[in-house]
A = this chain, B = another copy of it.
Amino acid sequence: MEIAIGIDIGGTNTVIGFVSKDGTCMVEKSASTTQYADCADYLHTINDIILAELAAHPEWKLCGIGIGAPNANYHKGTIEEAPNLRWKGTVHFCNDLAAYFPDVTIAITNDANAAAMGEMIYGAAKGITDFVVITLGTGLGSGIVVNGDLLYGHDGFAGEVGHTTVFPNGRECGCGKKGCLETYASATAIVRTMSEILCNSNKPSRLRDIPYNKMTALEIEKALKEGDELAKECYEYTGKILGMKLADLVCHTSPSHIFLFGGVAKAGDIIIAPTKRAMEENLLPIFKNKITITQSGLLNENAAVLGASALVWNEIAKKNNEK
């Protein structure tokens, strides 16, 4: 059986999945990321895990290894200045991994691009050539697909929609800028917005009993479902801003579908309905009523690992097309 390995490198942990062509994750292993100050030691551990698993499954044929990592550069095969990783500067990840696995396809991209690739190969975007995946988690990531392939741009870093500007001099963002979209539309942003609404309104809300640091998007979603008006206002506002910026996104790449992914997307219509409404309000007439906004097809899967593994099948398909 042909197998692609997907490696999802998080700040704390790394997950390694052994995935078949139809998107079934046969085995999942994990390792510490944070434990290794030196990437060479980390790669040594990853290699051991992979070799042990391959030895246990002689029926597998390893086709390649795909990696999803913060600040990953597809063109160069590097991880560059990732704020949440201990490896500083530029790590030549693909090259270094290829020393262990010289005969298979190896490719790396950032988390959101990997999510988009997973959506295209295994998920709801099969057969769709122009779409976007927006990941709504701690931050807001985006993977943009045009003409059936990921949009990387000249330097490999395209698709940073979370850092477009909503309000100049708006909320402080982790990137050093102010007013970025991810400070208004992400799980963290929803908590910020809730806090703002609580201070501006006099309406009662049980959320007033939760300290800022304990508040979560999920808690606000629960309050909304219990009829909390301010929680509703919070999600409406989030959708309004997200929808407005998605209308901008459509002006750039004109996708047929936008898939929402990540914890916030699990709220379904609570976030999708106001987002869609605001997007339609802000669209040019030629774009109105023809773009689908919907949940990712991989919401309940380990999409990060699947997406990383999907990179492999896509690279192989591209190579075959070139022949």
A residues within 8 Å of B by Cβ?
71, 80-81, 129-131, 144, 146-147, 149, 151-165, 168, 175-177, 244, 247-249, 251-256, 282, 284-287, 290
A158 interface neighbour in B154, B155, B252, B282, Cβ under 8 Å: B252
Given A165-B244, A249-B252, A252-B144: A284 and B160 within 8 A (CB)? yes
> How many angstroms from the CA of A95 to the CA of B107 in the assembled complex?
43
Q: Are A254 and B154 in contact (CB under 8 A)?
A: yes
List B contacts of A144 (CB < 8 A): 252-253
Secondary structure call for the A interface: loop
Do A287 and B177 contact each other (CB < 8 Å), given the known contacts A165-B247, A251-B163, A253-B252? no
Q: Which of B153, B168, B252 touches A159 (beta carbons < 8 Å)?
A: B252
**A79–B163 CA distance with the chains assembled, in angstroms:** 35
| 25 A-B pairs (CB sep. < 8 Å) | A80-B286, A130-B154, A144-B253, A146-B151, A146-B158, A151-B252, A154-B254, A154-B256, A155-B286, A158-B254, A159-B252, A160-B252, A160-B254, A160-B286, A161-B251, A163-B251, A164-B247, A164-B251, A165-B244, A168-B282, A177-B282, A177-B284, A248-B248, A249-B252, A252-B252
Tell me whether A153 and B284 are in contact in the complex, defined as CB-CB below 8 angstroms, given that A244-B165, A248-B165 are known contacts: no
Count copies of this chain in the complex.
2
A253 to B146, CA, bound (A): 10
Are the CB atoms of B284 and A175 closer together than 8 Å? yes
Residues of B within 8 A of A160 (CB): 251-252, 254, 284, 286-287
CA distance A255 to B251 in the complex (A): 16
Known contacts A146-B151, A165-B282, A244-B168; A157 and B252 CB within 8 A of each other: no
